[in-house]
Amino acid sequence: MTSPLVLASSSPFRRRLMENAGLAFSTETARIDERQIEEGLASQNRGPESLASELACRKALEVSARRPDALVIGCDQTMAMGSQIFHKPTDLDAARRQLQALRGGTHRLYSGICVVRNGEVVWKFVGQAELTMRNFSDEFLDRYLTLVGAKALTSVGAYQLEAEGIQLFSSVVGDYFTIIGLPLMALLEQLRRMGEIDA
């Protein structure tokens, strides 16, 4: 017998990916303070990959405590260029500074996913992608931010690759779903292995 699937996320992008894949699920937002958790892990020198995995699991575990009947899927995404870890910008000025810092360089996205049942982690995975931004002008950046507005504040990179953000890039290496924030192929394979969806 299969368990109800719950996506522990309010992300419309992740929800759309799972809907498009034909999965039947509900959503429930995890009640955690991501920045507080990150600060608590800072002393452990956690890298962005480990951080994405930890946050994904914390989200799934929190929702699982309220939904022990369900198979809960938690996701989180981190981004780094070199040793610098980036977060969602708080306003358009922060988005502009972040995109200027990324311009002309290569950064990595890490998309963590964690599946929890009855408060126990049953599977976790981190997908990676490598993205190179072109050396665009400040004028282009201003036009881009005017065009996308507050959407720049909804993702860790201040861009949506599936929309206007694609114009910021010269090269993308990695799984599309990982870049959007949910390693869907790996999740579907795991759900098949667990007998939760048709094999």
Phi, psi of 191 (to 5 degrees): -65, -35
Handedness of CA 170, 174, 179, 184 (dihedral sign): positive
Q: Rounded to an integer, what distance in angstroms lies between the CA atom of residue 153 and that of residue 86?
A: 12
Whether 76 is a known active-site residue: answer: yes
Q: Catalytic pick from 76, 93, 142, 198?
A: 76
- Cβ within 8 Å of residue 140, ≥6 positions away: none
Phi, psi of 64 (to 5 degrees): -60, -30
Chain CA centroid to CA 25, Å: 18
Active site residues: 76
